[in-house]
Amino acid sequence: MLRLDKRHVIAKKIAELLETGQIVNLGIGIPTLIPQYLDGKEVYLESENGLLGIGPPPTEENLDADLIDAGKVPITALSGSSFFNSADSFAMIRGGHVDVAVLGILQVDMYGEIANWAVPNQPILGVGGAMDLVAGSKKVIAAATLFAKDGTPKLVKNLTYKSSGSRRIELFVTEYAIFTFTEEGVKVAEIIEDISIEELSERVGIKLEYASEQSIKV
Protein backbone atom coordinates (compact mmCIF):
# COMPACT_ATOMS: atom_id res chain seq x y z
CA MET A 1 0.00 0.00 0.00
CA LEU A 2 1.28 3.45 -0.95
CA ARG A 3 2.29 5.65 1.96
CA LEU A 4 0.54 9.02 1.99
CA ASP A 5 2.71 12.11 1.97
CA LYS A 6 2.59 14.20 5.13
CA ARG A 7 0.06 16.74 3.82
CA HIS A 8 -2.37 13.95 2.97
CA VAL A 9 -1.75 12.23 6.33
CA ILE A 10 -2.93 15.42 8.03
CA ALA A 11 -5.98 15.85 5.78
CA LYS A 12 -7.04 12.20 6.23
CA LYS A 13 -6.76 12.42 10.01
CA ILE A 14 -8.91 15.56 10.13
CA ALA A 15 -11.51 13.94 7.84
CA GLU A 16 -11.74 11.09 10.35
CA LEU A 17 -12.27 13.53 13.23
CA LEU A 18 -15.10 15.51 11.61
CA GLU A 19 -18.61 14.51 12.68
CA THR A 20 -21.69 13.88 10.57
CA GLY A 21 -23.86 16.95 10.09
CA GLN A 22 -21.19 19.56 10.83
CA ILE A 23 -20.77 22.71 8.71
CA VAL A 24 -17.03 22.91 8.09
CA ASN A 25 -15.11 25.80 6.53
CA LEU A 26 -11.99 24.74 4.65
CA GLY A 27 -9.07 27.16 4.48
CA ILE A 28 -6.35 27.30 1.85
CA GLY A 29 -3.68 24.59 1.51
CA ILE A 30 -3.91 21.28 3.38
CA PRO A 31 -7.59 21.80 4.34
CA THR A 32 -8.57 21.63 0.65
CA LEU A 33 -7.37 18.00 0.57
CA ILE A 34 -9.97 16.90 3.14
CA PRO A 35 -12.92 16.22 0.77
CA GLN A 36 -11.17 13.25 -0.85
CA TYR A 37 -10.98 11.46 2.53
CA LEU A 38 -14.54 11.87 3.81
CA ASP A 39 -15.62 8.51 2.30
CA GLY A 40 -19.30 9.45 2.10
CA LYS A 41 -19.49 11.05 5.56
CA GLU A 42 -22.24 13.70 5.48
CA VAL A 43 -20.28 16.83 6.32
CA TYR A 44 -21.31 20.17 4.80
CA LEU A 45 -18.16 21.83 3.50
CA GLU A 46 -18.15 25.62 3.13
CA SER A 47 -15.81 27.86 1.17
CA GLU A 48 -15.73 31.52 2.19
CA ASN A 49 -15.93 32.68 -1.43
CA GLY A 50 -19.57 31.56 -1.43
CA LEU A 51 -20.38 27.84 -1.53
CA LEU A 52 -21.93 25.48 1.01
CA GLY A 53 -21.81 21.90 -0.24
CA ILE A 54 -18.35 21.21 -1.65
CA GLY A 55 -18.12 17.77 -3.22
CA PRO A 56 -15.20 15.45 -3.98
CA PRO A 57 -12.32 16.67 -6.19
CA PRO A 58 -13.29 16.96 -9.88
CA THR A 59 -12.20 14.51 -12.53
CA GLU A 60 -11.04 15.70 -15.95
CA GLU A 61 -14.55 15.01 -17.27
CA ASN A 62 -16.43 17.18 -14.74
CA LEU A 63 -13.88 19.93 -14.13
CA ASP A 64 -15.44 23.41 -14.29
CA ALA A 65 -12.93 26.29 -14.32
CA ASP A 66 -15.61 28.62 -12.91
CA LEU A 67 -16.16 26.45 -9.84
CA ILE A 68 -13.28 27.06 -7.40
CA ASP A 69 -12.66 27.28 -3.67
CA ALA A 70 -11.13 30.18 -1.71
CA GLY A 71 -7.66 29.10 -2.85
CA LYS A 72 -8.72 29.08 -6.54
CA VAL A 73 -8.53 25.27 -6.65
CA PRO A 74 -11.18 23.56 -8.84
CA ILE A 75 -13.92 21.83 -6.85
CA THR A 76 -17.31 20.20 -7.36
CA ALA A 77 -20.67 21.06 -5.82
CA LEU A 78 -23.00 18.46 -4.36
CA SER A 79 -26.65 18.24 -5.35
CA GLY A 80 -28.57 20.72 -3.19
CA SER A 81 -25.55 22.92 -2.47
CA SER A 82 -25.96 26.67 -2.02
CA PHE A 83 -24.16 29.56 -3.71
CA PHE A 84 -24.04 33.02 -2.14
CA ASN A 85 -22.05 36.25 -2.15
CA SER A 86 -19.17 37.18 0.17
CA ALA A 87 -21.39 39.31 2.40
CA ASP A 88 -23.66 36.34 3.13
CA SER A 89 -20.64 34.08 3.57
CA PHE A 90 -19.11 36.29 6.22
CA ALA A 91 -22.48 36.85 7.88
CA MET A 92 -22.67 33.09 8.27
CA ILE A 93 -19.13 32.95 9.71
CA ARG A 94 -19.54 35.94 12.03
CA GLY A 95 -22.98 34.76 13.11
CA GLY A 96 -21.56 31.55 14.60
CA HIS A 97 -23.09 29.20 12.01
CA VAL A 98 -19.84 27.42 11.14
CA ASP A 99 -19.26 24.41 13.39
CA VAL A 100 -15.59 23.86 12.53
CA ALA A 101 -13.01 25.92 10.65
CA VAL A 102 -9.93 24.06 9.38
CA LEU A 103 -7.13 26.54 8.80
CA GLY A 104 -3.55 26.39 7.64
CA ILE A 105 -1.15 28.13 10.03
CA LEU A 106 2.34 29.62 10.17
CA GLN A 107 2.67 29.30 13.95
CA VAL A 108 0.66 28.27 16.99
CA ASP A 109 1.79 29.11 20.49
CA MET A 110 1.65 26.69 23.41
CA TYR A 111 -1.73 28.07 24.50
CA GLY A 112 -3.40 27.75 21.11
CA GLU A 113 -3.16 31.26 19.66
CA ILE A 114 -2.38 31.11 15.95
CA ALA A 115 -0.67 33.23 13.30
CA ASN A 116 -1.61 32.43 9.72
CA TRP A 117 -1.71 35.52 7.54
CA ALA A 118 1.47 37.62 7.64
CA VAL A 119 5.15 36.67 7.32
CA PRO A 120 7.71 39.26 8.47
CA ASN A 121 9.52 41.03 5.61
CA GLN A 122 7.17 39.50 3.03
CA PRO A 123 4.43 41.26 1.04
CA ILE A 124 1.10 41.21 2.91
CA LEU A 125 -1.80 40.36 0.64
CA GLY A 126 -4.40 40.87 3.38
CA VAL A 127 -5.79 38.94 6.30
CA GLY A 128 -8.59 37.41 4.24
CA GLY A 129 -11.11 35.51 6.36
CA ALA A 130 -8.62 34.32 8.97
CA MET A 131 -9.63 36.63 11.82
CA ASP A 132 -13.35 36.18 11.14
CA LEU A 133 -13.01 32.39 11.16
CA VAL A 134 -10.92 32.36 14.33
CA ALA A 135 -13.42 34.59 16.13
CA GLY A 136 -16.68 33.29 14.67
CA SER A 137 -16.33 29.52 14.26
CA LYS A 138 -17.53 27.28 17.07
CA LYS A 139 -14.31 25.24 16.87
CA VAL A 140 -11.02 25.72 15.03
CA ILE A 141 -8.58 23.05 13.85
CA ALA A 142 -5.12 24.05 12.62
CA ALA A 143 -3.80 21.86 9.80
CA ALA A 144 -0.09 22.11 9.03
CA THR A 145 3.19 20.24 8.97
CA LEU A 146 4.92 20.49 12.34
CA PHE A 147 8.08 22.03 10.91
CA ALA A 148 8.63 24.82 8.38
CA LYS A 149 10.88 24.36 5.33
CA ASP A 150 13.86 25.68 7.31
CA GLY A 151 13.28 23.08 10.03
CA THR A 152 11.91 25.45 12.67
CA PRO A 153 8.86 24.19 14.57
CA LYS A 154 5.48 25.82 13.98
CA LEU A 155 4.51 24.99 17.56
CA VAL A 156 6.25 27.73 19.57
CA LYS A 157 6.33 29.12 23.08
CA ASN A 158 5.47 32.61 21.84
CA LEU A 159 4.29 33.84 18.44
CA THR A 160 6.82 35.77 16.39
CA TYR A 161 4.36 36.29 13.51
CA LYS A 162 1.26 38.51 13.65
CA SER A 163 -1.61 36.90 15.55
CA SER A 164 -4.87 35.94 13.87
CA GLY A 165 -6.83 36.52 17.08
CA SER A 166 -6.60 35.83 20.79
CA ARG A 167 -9.09 32.94 20.74
CA ARG A 168 -7.56 29.53 21.61
CA ILE A 169 -7.96 26.88 18.91
CA GLU A 170 -9.12 23.35 19.75
CA LEU A 171 -6.66 21.13 17.86
CA PHE A 172 -3.42 21.33 15.89
CA VAL A 173 -3.17 18.32 13.56
CA THR A 174 0.29 17.56 12.17
CA GLU A 175 1.95 14.56 10.54
CA TYR A 176 3.62 13.70 13.86
CA ALA A 177 0.89 14.22 16.42
CA ILE A 178 -2.38 15.89 17.33
CA PHE A 179 -2.04 18.66 19.89
CA THR A 180 -4.75 20.15 22.09
CA PHE A 181 -4.62 23.30 24.20
CA THR A 182 -5.65 24.19 27.75
CA GLU A 183 -5.02 27.05 30.17
CA GLU A 184 -1.98 25.05 31.35
CA GLY A 185 -0.56 24.87 27.83
CA VAL A 186 -0.22 22.45 24.96
CA LYS A 187 -0.90 18.71 25.40
CA VAL A 188 -0.44 15.73 23.07
CA ALA A 189 -3.78 14.14 22.29
CA GLU A 190 -2.45 11.49 19.90
CA ILE A 191 0.88 10.40 18.41
CA ILE A 192 0.63 9.66 14.68
CA GLU A 193 4.25 9.18 13.58
CA ASP A 194 6.60 6.55 15.06
CA ILE A 195 8.17 8.93 17.57
CA SER A 196 8.32 9.12 21.36
CA ILE A 197 6.85 12.03 23.24
CA GLU A 198 10.32 12.72 24.64
CA GLU A 199 11.84 13.01 21.16
CA LEU A 200 8.91 15.16 20.06
CA SER A 201 9.49 17.47 23.04
CA GLU A 202 13.15 17.80 22.16
CA ARG A 203 12.45 18.59 18.52
CA VAL A 204 9.92 21.35 19.21
CA GLY A 205 11.72 22.72 22.26
CA ILE A 206 8.68 22.46 24.52
CA LYS A 207 8.20 19.87 27.26
CA LEU A 208 5.15 17.89 26.20
CA GLU A 209 2.84 15.55 28.05
CA TYR A 210 -0.24 13.58 27.12
CA ALA A 211 -3.70 15.10 27.51
CA SER A 212 -5.78 13.55 30.27
CA GLU A 213 -8.71 13.02 27.87
CA GLN A 214 -8.02 10.10 25.57
CA SER A 215 -10.90 10.76 23.13
CA ILE A 216 -10.56 13.64 20.66
CA LYS A 217 -13.77 15.56 20.01
CA VAL A 218 -14.32 18.28 17.44
- The candidate with the shortest Cα–Cα distance to 187, out of 198, 197, 179, is 179
Q: Which residues contact 28 (CB under 8 A, 6 or more apart)?
A: 69, 70, 71, 104
Q: What's the longest Cα–Cα distance across the chain?
A: 51
183 part of the active site: no
DSSP class of residue 168 equals P
Distance, in Å, from the CA atom of 23 to the CA atom of 45, rounded to the nearest integer, reads 6
From the candidates 19, 46, 48, 199, give the one annotated as an active-site residue. 48
56 burial type by CB count under 10 A (0-12 exposed, 13-18 middle, 19+ buried):
middle
Q: What is the DSSP string of 58-87?
A: P-TTT--TT-B-TTS-B--EEEEEEE--HH
**What residues are labeled active site?**
48
